[in-house]
Amino acid sequence: MNIGESTVLLAIVVLSLFFAVILGYSVGYMSASRRINDLESQIQKFKDDLSRLNTSLESLSASTQNATVFVLERNISLTELYERVKNSIVVVRGLILRYDIFGRPYYVGQVQGSGFVYNFTGRMVIITNYHVVSTAVNITVTFANGNGYAAYLLGSDPYADLAVLSANAPENEYYPLEIASSSNLKVGDLVIAIGSPFGLTGSMSVGVVSALGRTITEETTGGYPIADVIQTTAPLNPGNSGGPLLNYDGQVVGITTAIVSGSQGISFAIPSNTILREIESLVTEGSYNKHPWLGVFGIDMTYEIAKAMNVNVTYGWLITKVVNGGPADKAGLRGGTTLVYIAGERITIGGDIIIAINDKRIVGIDDLSSYLEENTKPGQIINVTIIRGNEKLTLPVTLEARPPPS
C-alpha cells in the first residue's frame, strides 16, 4: 500500500469515527431529551397534585375554623367542660361473693364501673347502672381526688339498669351534676362520656347522638326491653358503665350502659328522662314498679313476613305470643298460630300486627317500647290498632305494671 492509499484509508477511518461519535451523541441526546421531558411531565403532575392537596387542606382548615368559632360562640371548650365536671364522676367498686357447699363465703372477684353525683332535693346520691352493683357486696366509691368511701344501695331498677347509692363521704366531696331532659336531644348532637374504662379513672370520650328511641335488652332485664335508649358514637369500654353522658353544657342527658360486642362505634345510654321519672321512687321506696306492660311477645314486621302471612302491611310489630291473663289477653289480642321458617329464622306467624297506639304509628319494637315508656303508665287504657288477617281493628287495652324479674 502506497502513501496515497494509506492517507485515503486513514481519512475514511477518521471520518467513520467522527460520524459514529456524532451518531452516538445524537442517539444519547435524544434519549436524554425524552427522559428530561418525562421528568418535566412528572414534576408538573406532582405540582398539580400538590395544588389540589393544598386546596383540600385549605377547605379542611376552613371547616375546622368554623367548628372552633362554634365552640367560642358557646363560650366553652371541651377542656373547660372536663375541668368543670371531673370532680362529679366517681369510680364504683364492689366484691363478688359466693358460698361453698358448706355455706362458707368466699370472694371470686370484683366489679368496677362509674357513677356520678346528683343532688336529689338536698340529699347527695350517686347514680350508676344496676348491672354494676347487682351482684356486688362491700361497695365503695372513689372520687377524682382519690378519696374512697363505703357506699350502700338505696334503690334500683333492673328494667332500666339504674341504681342509686349513698356514700359515707363528707359534704365537701360532692359536686353534683345537673340532669337535663333527654327530650331535647337530636341525632347529630354532640355528647361527652366520662368514666373509668378498664379502670382508667376520669377518661373522656366524645361522639354524637347516632340514633334515638332504640330498644335494648340486658341480662338483668329478664328479656324485657329497655326502652327509648340513646345510641351514640362516643367510644365506651368496660368500666364506663354508670358514668354520665353529657351535652355541651355539661348537663346529664343519659347514663352510659351498654356496648355492642364486636361493634364499630356503637354504644348506648339510658336517657335522662328515665332517671328523672324514677329517681324519687328509687331513693324513697328502693324500687320502681311503674313500667307499663302489655303482656305480649313479638317481632318486627318485614316484607318477607308479610308475604308469608299474605297481608298487605310490611311495618308494625307482629304478636307471636300472648301471656295468659295479661292485659293483651284480657283485651282479646291474639298471638301466632303457625311456626314457619323465613330467611332461615323460626317465626310464629298468624298473630295480630300492632300498627298504632293511640293513633301513633308503630313501625317496630323501638316505637312500641318508647311510646309506652314515655307516654303511658299502669292502669291507663290505650287504643291499640291492629291488622288481623287483612282487617283493621282498634281494641282498648288496660295496661298493667310489669311483673318483677323472675
Write down the architecture of domain 182-277 according to CATH.
Beta Barrel (2.40)
Whose cell is 335488652? That residue is 217
CATH number for region 86-173:
2.40.10.10
What integer pLDDT is reported at residue 72 of this predicted model? 37
* Confidence grade of residue 20 (pLDDT, cut at 50, 70, 90): low
Other Cβ atoms less than 10 A from the Cβ of 6: the count is: 10
**Mean pLDDT for the chain overall:** 85
* Confidence grade of residue 157 (pLDDT, cut at 50, 70, 90): very high
Asked if pLDDT for residue 374 goes beyond 60, the answer is yes
* Confidence grade of residue 96 (pLDDT, cut at 50, 70, 90): confident
Common-topology check for domains 86-173 and 182-277: yes
Q: How many residues does the chain have?
A: 406
- Taking the C-alpha atoms of residue 348 and residue 196, their distance in angstroms, rounded to an integer, is 43
What integer pLDDT is reported at residue 56 of this predicted model? 45
- Taking the C-alpha atoms of residue 397 and residue 368, their distance in angstroms, rounded to an integer, is 14
Lowest mean per-residue pLDDT among 72-76, 113-117, 156-160: 72-76
* Confidence grade of residue 71 (pLDDT, cut at 50, 70, 90): very low
Asked if pLDDT for residue 74 goes beyond 50, the answer is yes
Beta bridge partners of 117: 126
Which residues form the catalytic set?
A: 131, 161, 241
* Confidence grade of residue 365 (pLDDT, cut at 50, 70, 90): very high
Q: What is the pLDDT of residues 186-231, one digit of tens each?
A: 999 999 999 988 777 888 999 999 999 999 888 777 778 889 999 9
Could you tell me the residue ranges of all domains in the chain?
86-173, 182-277, 292-401
Yes or no: domain 292-401 corresponds to CATH 1.10.10.10: no
> Full-prediction pTM beyond 0.85?
no
Percent of the chain with pLDDT over 70: 80
What integer pLDDT is reported at residue 63 of this predicted model? 41
Q: What is the pLDDT of residues 320-357, one digit of tens each?
A: 999 999 999 999 999 999 999 998 889 999 999 999 99
